[in-house]
Structure 1
Amino acid sequence: MDILTPDAALVLADRYWRIHGDICALPSYADQNFRIRTEHGEYVLKVAHPSWSRLDLDLENQAMMTLAEREPALQWPRVQLAVDGEHLLTLPIAGQPCQVRVLSFVPGTTYADAIGAVPKTQRAALHESLGSAVGRLTRGLQDFHHPAADRQHDWNLLRLPTLCGEIAHIEDAGLRAIVQTHAETFCARLPQWGAQLPITVLHNDANDLNVIVADDGDGQRVRAVIDFGDMCTSFRLADLAIACTYAMQHEADPVACARTIVRGYLAQCPLLRIELEQLHAFILARLCHSVLMATRAHREEPDNPFILVSQQGVRALLRELAEVNHDAIVGPFLEPSHD
């Protein structure tokens, strides 16, 4: 994709959205994103890589608009309508049609960057706010439907069976045995769970880089969840499991951390008892999923050292949780009120 200059991006923002101000490029893996500061607020102009389908981007926008309407307490990225009333435009850029949209910029700091400076005595409140935010996310997308949500996505836990061939390529024998046990057990239970556990449209990526925190006067609290690019249809339980998986990696007592996240989540979005009973298995499955995705990526790019370095927290947590009682996290919540 040809590079769009900030000046050219600002011309698009002004022409189609009547937004003008100071602009700078933001880092992005494949897309082109630009932050625009105006006297009325801050925005992000997003030019999608041509590999993105219009339907996939429409899914993201529709989800964000639904959440802004249903769960206004959180600062989701707000989709900005163009002057013609549309929320997603196909514009020619360097002779190539590209999907372009504008979202509000969500101020704050990523959870990953903020957590190290949060005192131990204040972390429980942050964890509870994370659970509350993800509970609102689940609740806000309840009964949300979109034709693109059924797409096959690599990070959907329903697709874990397609990765099991990577188990043999895990070099660490101890880790390989743990992944084999928990990934294969999870996969064997998928047919049963598919009939028993609620299925819904998920954000599917509430990791520590997509959770935005800010100081509300009493300390750091979760303000928003961003980046809807991994949305898919899967188990309702998965968004809670994913949030726990990443937050737990920053804590000396990951079980206590997850327990507090669950408490915040359930205050916004009660789950069935049968869902709570499987949370531990879902967290282990997400960790296995991450290990297997990294194993595949490392085979494809053996000279990229970052792939396995970024796995250190995942693998340490997986080893620790594999030794923890299945009900250690959810035991206090297994009451009839959650049926």
Structure 2
Amino acid sequence: MDALSPDEALQLADWHWHIRGQISVLPSYADHNFRIRTEAGDYVLKVANPSWSRADLDLENRAMMTLAEREPAMRWPQVQIAMNGEHLLTLSISGQVRQVRMLSFVPGRTYADVIDSLAPAQRPVLHASLGSAVGRLTRGLQDFKHPAADRQHDWNLMRLPALREELAHIDDEAVRDIVRTQLDAFCGQLPFWHGRLPVSVLHNDANDLNVIVSDDEDGPCVNAVIDFGDMCTSFRLADLAIACTYAMQHEADPVACARAVVRGYLAQCPLLRDELEQLQTFILARLCHSVLMATRASRESPDNPFIMVSQRGVRSLLRQLAGLDRNAIAGPFLESLHD
């Protein structure tokens, strides 16, 4: 994929959105992203890799526009409408057809950058605000529909059974045994859950690098969730489980952390008893999912040492949770639930 220079990117921004300012390149795994600083605010020009389909990017944009309308208290990335009235442009760039869009830049620091610098007394407030933000995310996407949301996404927990063959390649025997046990339990319940647990369109990736924190009068608070590239249709519960999974890895007391996240979430988006009873199972499943995906990636790119670096926290938390009562996290909430 030919590189797009900052000057060329700024020309696109000017031609199609009349946005002018100082431009800089943003890091991206496969796309070309640029931050444009203007007196009216900052923007991100996103030039997608040719492998991205228009339908997938249309899904992301329409989800963000829906959230901006339904949950205005949060600072979602705002989709900018081009001069021709469209929110997603198909352009020929360097002889390739590319999908191009413009979003507002969401200021703040990532959850990962903030959490480890906080005093113990400040952490529960941030945990609860994380839960509240993800609860608003779930609530805002309630009844949201889009044909591309039904795509077969590797990170959809519904597709966890497809990774079973990676079990044999997990290098740590103890971890392999835990993953096998949790995988068997999760996959065995899938047919039952399909008939009992609500399904919706999810963000599916509220990890500690996609959650943006700002400072307000009560201290650091989550005010945005970004990066909608992993969206899919799955169990509604999964977004909460994913947020808990990443937040817990920063804590000496992961159960207390998860309870604070859940408390914040439920204040915005109540869940069924059936969902709360499966929360810990879903958290464990997400951890297993991460282990299996990293194992596959490491097999495919054995010379990349960075693939397994993030697995230290994942595997440590997996070992901790595997030995706990299945309602260690949700127990207090189940006691007060009457549905």
Cα distance in 1 for partners of 2:244, 2:237 equals: 11
SS in structure 2 of the partner of residue 234 of structure 1 = strand
Q: Over residues 163-192 of structure 1, what are the superposed CA-to-partner deviations in whole Å (9 max), with x where a residue is unaligned?
A: 011111111111110000001110111000
State yes or no: 1:136 paired with 2:136.
yes
SS in structure 2 of the partner of residue 117 of structure 1 = coil
Counterpart amino acid of 1:223? N
Unpaired runs of at least 5, structure 2:
none
SS in structure 1 of the partner of residue 153 of structure 2 = coil
SS in structure 1 of the partner of residue 152 of structure 2 = coil
Unpaired runs of at least 5, structure 1:
none
State the Cα distance separating 1:112 from its structure 2 match. 0.7
Where does 1:299-338 land on structure 2 (aligned, <5 Å)?
A: 299-335=299-335, 337=337
SS in structure 1 of the partner of residue 116 of structure 2 = helix
Q: Over residues 209-258 of structure 1, what are the superposed CA-to-partner deviations in whole Å (9 max), with x where a residue is unaligned?
A: 10000111221100100000000000000000000000000000000000
Cα distance in 2 for partners of 1:217, 1:25 equals: 32
Cα distance in 1 for partners of 2:336, 2:213 equals: 33
Counterpart amino acid of 2:240? L
Cα distance in 2 for partners of 1:187, 1:92 equals: 44
- Which residue number in structure 1 is paired with residue 114 of structure 2? 114
Cα distance in 2 for partners of 1:190, 1:165 equals: 18
Q: Over residues 62-118 of structure 1, what are the superposed CA-to-partner deviations in whole Å (9 max), with x where a residue is unaligned?
A: 000000000000000000000111000011111111100000000000111111111
State the Cα distance separating 1:301 from its structure 2 match. 1.1
State the Cα distance separating 1:337 from its structure 2 match. 4.1
Q: Is the 8 A contact 1:92 1:98 kept in 2?
A: yes
State the Cα distance separating 1:335 from its structure 2 match. 4.3
Counterpart amino acid of 1:288? C
Q: Is the 8 A contact 1:273 1:336 kept in 2?
A: no
Cα distance in 1 for partners of 2:188, 2:78 equals: 40
State the Cα distance separating 1:309 from its structure 2 match. 1.4
Cα distance in 2 for partners of 1:197, 1:219 equals: 36
Counterpart amino acid of 1:138? T
Query: Judging changes above 3 Å, is the alpha-carbon distance between structure 1 residues 238 and 338 closer, same or farther for their aligned structure 2 residues?
Result: farther
State yes or no: 1:193 paired with 2:193.
yes
State the Cα distance separating 1:13 from its structure 2 match. 0.3
Percent of aligned pairs with the same amino acid: 74
State the Cα distance separating 1:46 from its structure 2 match. 0.1
SS in structure 1 of the partner of residue 243 of structure 2 = helix
RMSD between aligned alpha carbons?
Answer: 0.8
Counterpart amino acid of 1:130? L
Where does 1:137-286 land on structure 2 (aligned, <5 Å)?
A: 137-286=137-286
State the Cα distance separating 1:324 from its structure 2 match. 1.0
Query: Judging changes above 3 Å, is the alpha-carbon distance between structure 1 residues 170 and 259 closer, same or farther for their aligned structure 2 residues?
Result: same
State the Cα distance separating 1:147 from its structure 2 match. 0.4
- Which residue number in structure 1 is paired with residue 126 of structure 2? 126
TM-score under structure 2 length normalisation: 0.99
Regions of 4+ moved over 2 Å: 335-339
TM-score under structure 1 length normalisation: 0.99
SS in structure 1 of the partner of residue 242 of structure 2 = helix
Counterpart amino acid of 2:113? D
Q: Is the 8 A contact 1:78 1:103 kept in 2?
A: yes
Cα distance in 2 for partners of 1:184, 1:280 equals: 15
